[in-house]
Structure 1
Amino acid sequence: MPLTDLLLPTTVVGSYPVVRGKGLRALLDPLRPALETAINDQVNAGVDIISDGQVRGEMIQIFTTHLPGVRGQQVIGKVLPAAGSITVHDTRFALTKTRYVKGILTGPSTLAHGLQLATPHYRSREELVPDIATALVVEAIALEEAGVAMIQIDEPIFSTGAPDLDIGGRAVELIADQVSVPVALHTCGDLSQVIDRILSIRVDIHDCEFATCPANLDLFSARDLGKKKIGLGCLDSSSDSVESVDVIARLIRNGVDRFGANRLLIDPDCGMRMRIREAASAKLVHMVEATGIVRSEL
């Protein structure tokens, strides 16, 4: 079944708790057990579009470690594309377990603002953003060639007011324009101050927090979305408390009433790297069950 034919497809924002293994296999690749656990938990929960779990590091370091021009947390020269792919290996492994996998990139603005400038090559972080975007284009193309169903660009910093959204938006579009698979832009928090600029960014899907920021429902439903889809965050990713199926289903129904079922993807508010595994797994199981209930009602 093509991705576009899925009704209320369930997915994840990306990161998953890192469960380290033991024994010889863990010595050879300490994070391989975490990768397998993250993927298996998503598949076993019944998630339609999974991720690789982003177990190799936190969202900034996982990319900047591989970019020439960056050393540690400092930019020491012109930033260039990585010598090889960064996330493709783990993504390919995920694709051996299920048909639909999303490739995930930390966005250029979030990366730029997570680094310190230690070179005269860049006078500001905003000058750094386009070069990071150019570097990420290479990774996005590699992910598409590997067979991902979609690509997600994470820009949690967009809601803070820190970055220049015109520069940041163009950087996201630079990446999105180079691939043919659907591209989602994930933004965190209350979007009331940036909603119109974010919606003007040329992507296919806007993925946001709605469980912990219900006001975002009003912001989006009050605007013309054109053909854009919504990633409906329906799990509180900041808590180990597991929402009931009824609570999740109620939020999904609200989203269906406002936007229509054909416009929605269902996922947690954000990544769940900081959650305990038992909570993250149970949340996904309940999310999938709630989505199934709402599907049966349509």
Structure 2
Amino acid sequence: MTLLLPPSTAGSLPKPSWLAQPQTLWSPWKLQGDALIEGKRDALRLALDDQLQAGIEIVSDGEQTRQHFVTTFIEHLDGVDFEKRETVRIRDRYDASVPTVVGAVSRPHPVFVEDARFLRQQTKQPIKWALPGPMTMVDTLFDTHYKSREKLAWAFAEILNQEARELEAAGVDIIQFDEPAFNVFFDEVNDWGVAVLEKAAEGLRCETAVHICYGYGIRANTEWKKTLGSQWRQYEEAFPKLQTSSLDIISLECHNSRVPMDLIELIRGKKVMVGAIDVASSVIETPEEVAGTLRKALQFVDADKLYPCTNCGMAPLSREVAMAKLRALGAGAAIVRRELLG
């Protein structure tokens, strides 16, 4: 990829109001049957156009065809019972009613491959596709079969690798694994989390990324952040192992967070998606604020390895705010690109 400072999003974008309830996670679809299939594809095309108009150069589907970044993938797997639910603590932060793993997990058919193929047909831009990471999938379920978070994670890694290989064949340029759990379960990250993630990415020739953030701008996450003190150093726990891993790109949260920018030094040599847009606020960044975040990051990452990005997905925001933030990201990246090119 030869673009300099190519902007991208971390994942989700708000859905149109005719498809799902705005600013709501797990919002039910407003359409059914063939109308839903058509509506999802219309929304995907809109999300693509929004990105292109905002100057986003590595584009995605905006997760328009899925209700949630983790559970939509799990819904397509065998071995998980969505009727049998238990309450569990998600990422040690909030309680949620989740489905139960009742048998060996498997993937009877591709999940997102047709959607990726459709997106590939719409654009010549580089495409990034997000998948849930194995540890975050484990943390979103109640398990009565494997009775081991690590064993279940390895099983998910096999399934994710199958999906990722088919996404690559469909024309995806970057496959991103979302692992917000990496900012919580530090011992597991280093004991088996990174190894399991590498298994999910095994054999891929396209670029691979891991996205680690402090979560959507929902109340449970913003309340948790208030307990983290004046410096958020969680990345310090996972970055050394990720620096020596086979993953190509590390995606992290920067703007309006208390993450010390110099922690990026721990992943020197990797490509870095620097979060320059705050998704936990409806305040719209100026292009100059975005540029300021990117300039700070350039102290610790070479320009050819810096990918401007959002802190996390923007599904809970209004479309109007999300679009304005995308435009700021594209414009801010363009400012710094012009400076670098003289």
TM-score, length-normalised on structure 2? 0.80
Equivalent in the alignment of 1:278 = 320
Equivalent in the alignment of 2:218 = none
Equivalent in the alignment of 1:261 = 303
For 1:82-97, list aligned pairs within 5 A: 82-97=107-122
Residue 250 of structure 1, aligned match among 284, 287, 292 = 292
Would you tell me which structure has more strand in proportion to its own residues?
2
Residue 207 of structure 1, aligned match among 251, 256, 260 = 251
Structure 2 CA distance for partners of 1:44 and 1:97, relative to 1, 3 Å: farther
Matched, 1:18 2:43: no
Residue 271 of structure 2, aligned match among 205, 229, 232 = 229
Q: Indicate if the aligned counterparts of 1:182 and 1:204 stay in contact, CA closer than 8 A.
A: yes
Q: Indicate if the aligned counterparts of 1:212 and 1:269 stay in contact, CA closer than 8 A.
A: no
Residue 75 of structure 1, aligned match among 94, 101, 104 = 101
RMSD of aligned alpha carbons: 2.0
Measure the CA separation in 2 of the matches of 1:59 and 1:171.
19
Structure 2 CA distance for partners of 1:46 and 1:96, relative to 1, 3 Å: farther
Measure the CA separation in 1 of the matches of 2:75 and 2:311.
26
Q: Deviations over 1:264-289 (max 9, x none)?
A: 01110111111111111111111101
For 1:43-192, list aligned pairs within 5 A: 43-55=52-64, 56-72=66-82, 73-80=99-106, 82-99=107-124, 100-119=126-145, 122-161=146-185, 164-165=188-189, 166-189=191-214, 190-192=234-236
Q: Indicate if the aligned counterparts of 1:240 and 1:279 stay in contact, CA closer than 8 A.
A: yes
Equivalent in the alignment of 1:36 = 45
Q: Deviations over 1:186-235 (max 9, x none)?
A: 111342333323434321111100113353421122x362x311111100
Equivalent pairs, count: 290
Measure the CA separation in 2 of the matches of 1:292 and 1:18.
27
Secondary structure of 1:174's counterpart equals: helix
Secondary structure of 1:153's counterpart equals: strand
Q: Indicate if the aligned counterparts of 2:13 and 2:322 stay in contact, CA closer than 8 A.
A: yes
Equivalent in the alignment of 2:22 = none
Secondary structure of 1:78's counterpart equals: strand
Secondary structure of 2:300's counterpart equals: helix
Return the offset for 1:37. 2.4
Structure 2 CA distance for partners of 1:278 and 1:163, relative to 1, 3 Å: farther
Structure 1, unaligned stretches of length 5 or more?
A: none
Return the offset for 1:28. 5.3
Measure the CA separation in 2 of the matches of 1:76 and 1:103.
29
Measure the CA separation in 2 of the matches of 1:85 and 1:69.
16
Structure 2, unaligned stretches of length 5 or more?
A: 20-30, 83-98, 215-233
